[in-house]
Amino acid sequence: MNIRHPVNRNLVINKVGFYKNIPVWNKGDLIQNYLISIEQVLTQSLNEHPRTLAIRFDLRFPVSFGIIDQIASLQTSHISSFFKNLDLEIKRDIKDKIKRNGNAHHSSLRYIWVKEQDSSCMPHYHVAIFLNKDTYYGLGNYQGNGDNMASRIIRAWARSIGIETYDAGKCVEFPDNHTYRLNRNSENFAEDFEQLFFRVSYFAKVDTKAFGSKDNYFGCSRR
């Protein structure tokens, strides 16, 4: 029997610690609908890019955004703007690679995000992006002004919330084990996929999401 969320009856609760026999985050209830979306994004990425790079990071707002008058403006538009800006960064980089080298691997940008708020007055975002590993191998350094993926992420967030790149570097956090590399043709693929799925299944947890508010607390790319 499906257990529905008490506030949003469209959401189904997962209490079993598995999704299609894949272990998932098990320190609280998960939203089954979100797990389905996570699987779809991973499948879409691997269908286009059999060698997929996944990167996990967090996006936060600067302390100055804690002013009461600004809290109401912290809506989904910021995260939507972030992905548009990051996509532009990636397209610009690939175009530059073609100019320099005559060719370059294409990479689509796919993503999953979740908005959370705990005891802080400010929300934050957990994000995972998925790219072509033949185009990008990892983050590079975290300086914010370099020709690497970490810098592109920082610049995209800076433009999305209207702050300087230097300040945005303090608002983007790359946690331990932030990078996963999947190869559909590898003998370790199933294990690697399960490790990544377990990591991002955390995004589907029920806690720290204000269900019932008008804002969105989970989102992902659609194609």
Q: Residue 146: what pLDDT?
A: 81
CB atoms within 10 A of CB 3: 12
Residue 121: CA atoms inside 13 Å, Cβ hemisphere, count?
Answer: 11
| Separation CA 38–CA 27 (nearest Å) | 18
- What's this model's pTM, rounded to 2 decimal places? 0.91
H helices within the chain, ranges in order?
32-48, 68-71, 77-101, 149-161, 165-168, 189-201
Q: Helix (H) and strand (E) counts for the chain?
A: 6, 11
- pLDDT 10s digit of each residue in the chain, 223 long? 467 755 565 788 888 899 999 999 988 899 999 999 999 999 999 999 999 999 999 999 998 776 544 554 555 689 999 999 999 999 999 999 999 999 999 999 999 999 987 767 788 999 999 999 999 999 987 766 788 999 999 999 999 999 999 999 999 999 999 999 999 999 999 999 999 999 999 999 987 665 555 567 899 999 8
Query: Using only C-alpha atoms, what is the Rg of the chain?
Result: 18
Tell which residue, 166, 145, 190, 172, has the closest CA to residue 56.
172
CA dihedral 208, 31, 11, 157 (to 10 degrees): 60
| Separation CA 158–CA 161 (nearest Å) | 6
Query: Which amino acid belongs to residue 125?
Result: Y
| Separation CA 23–CA 197 (nearest Å) | 8
Tell which residue, 183, 177, 172, has the closest CA to residue 127.
172
| Separation CA 205–CA 29 (nearest Å) | 6
